[in-house]
Amino acid sequence: MPRTTSQPSARGLAALDWREGGNLRIDWRWTGSDPALFERYAAELVASGRTPCWHRGSPSVVALRRLSGKIPIVFTMVSDPVGQGFVESLANPGGNVTGFSDFNPLMAGKWLEILTQMTPPVAQVAVLYNPATAPYAGRMMRAIEEAAPTFAVAVRAAPCRDEAEIDAKLATLAQQGRGGLLVLTDLFNIVHRDAIIRAAAQHRLPTIYFARSFTSAGGLMSYGIDYADHVPAFGHLCRSRSERRQPARPAGAGADQIRARDQPQDREGARHHHLADAARATADAVIE
């Protein structure tokens, strides 16, 4: 995994007295959303005998479950663990899989609400994801579509599979006027984070992301859980396994954090759009 991911994870586990080189060994794998690598790395981890396995995103969980039904799996950044068949229910996961969901249908309304608090307010929202790495996107789209009438916005899916398609979809959205972008939880969007932020700024599109890392990199706003909170929780789940206690249920989506910032200046030095006072009052951080 990238250093930016591995270092905070190691620090979070160290807070629970799990230390690399002592009572902990971590074998990192980073797929970069490459489908072939999911299968390859899953096979390597199964062969290594390392347990438990901590996985980010649905494709890695699917690959590992296909090879082994016994290795304890703890997931994060999985948006629909019940619908995808990873767990029996949120209250009672069952089997060898547990973890942390990062989506609650109520988040859909909050994403749209924040976009409509922009100046000028957004009227059309494109939802960006890659079908190959976000098989759960259909459920999320339904929640977004159900919330749309409340905020008088039109929503549509904007599936993308490479950077060229990202730029083309955003250019089309910008031409339609009063368009905004919603970037779904997706490994593809994480890998192409900088390209998405760059295209959104170039086309002057108000954009809301699912994670703080996007706003830290220059994106406009984010609303979602703090993934850093999953690291110590992962340690507690591992401890439950090692002590043969019933593992905790998957955590619900603690989506209560809004990050907001103005977009970088354009070539003329003017700001493209502004955060409304209501959005500023709601955000827990505003970077000027």
- The yes-or-no verdict on residue 129 having pLDDT over 60 is yes
Residue 205 confidence (pLDDT) above 90: yes
User: Cβ atoms within 10 A of the Cβ of 164, count?
Assistant: 10
Q: According to the model, what pLDDT value does residue 100 have?
A: 77
In the chain, where the domains are located: 3-102+226-242, 106-224+256-287
- Cα(222)–Cα(111) distance, integer angstroms: 8
Q: Which residues contact 285 (CB under 8 A, 6 or more apart)?
A: 215, 259, 260
Give the model's pLDDT for residue 119.
81
What's the pLDDT score for residue 238? 59
Instruction: Share the mean pLDDT of the chain.
Output: 75
Q: What pTM value is reported for the model?
A: 0.66
Higher pLDDT, 142 or 280: 142
Give the architecture-level CATH label for domain 3-102+226-242.
3-Layer(aba) Sandwich (3.40)
What confidence score (pLDDT) does residue 228 get?
63
Q: According to the model, what pLDDT value does residue 261 have?
A: 43
**Predicted local confidence at residue 149, as pLDDT:** 97
* pLDDT computed for residue 139 by the predictor: 86
pLDDT value of residue 98 = 78
Higher pLDDT, 259 or 57: 57
57 vs 126, higher pLDDT: 126
Q: Where are the beta strands (DSSP E) in 48-120?
A: 53-56, 73-78, 97-101, 118-119
Task: Tell me whether domains 3-102+226-242 and 106-224+256-287 share a fold.
Answer: yes
pLDDT of residue 74 exceeding 60, the answer is: yes
In this predicted structure, the answer to whether residue 92 has a pLDDT above a threshold of 50 is yes
Percent of the chain scoring above 90 in pLDDT:
32
Helices (DSSP H) in the chain: which residue ranges? Answer: 3-14, 35-48, 58-67, 106-116, 137-147, 163-176, 187-191, 193-202, 212-216, 230-242, 277-282
For 210-260, write each residue's pLDDT tens digit: 988 899 999 999 998 766 665 555 555 555 554 444 444 444 444 344 444
Q: Phi first, then psi: what are they for 239, rounded to 5°?
A: -65, -40
> What distance, in Å, lies between the first and last C-alpha atoms of the chain?
31
Q: How far is CA 100 from the centre of its chain?
A: 12
User: Between these two residues, 61 and 32, which has the higher pLDDT value?
Assistant: 61
DSSP assigned state of 106: H
> Which CATH architecture group holds 106-224+256-287?
3-Layer(aba) Sandwich (3.40)
Higher pLDDT, 147 or 76: 147
Place of tokens 């973890």: 99
Give pLDDT tens digits for 28-56: 777 766 767 777 877 887 777 766 566 66
Determine the pLDDT at residue 160: 96
Per the CB < 8 A criterion, the answer to whether 146 and 176 are in contact is no
The pLDDT value recorded for residue 183 is: 97
- Asked whether residue 123 carries a pLDDT value surpassing 60, the answer given is yes
Q: Please state the rounded mean pLDDT for residues 202-208.
A: 95
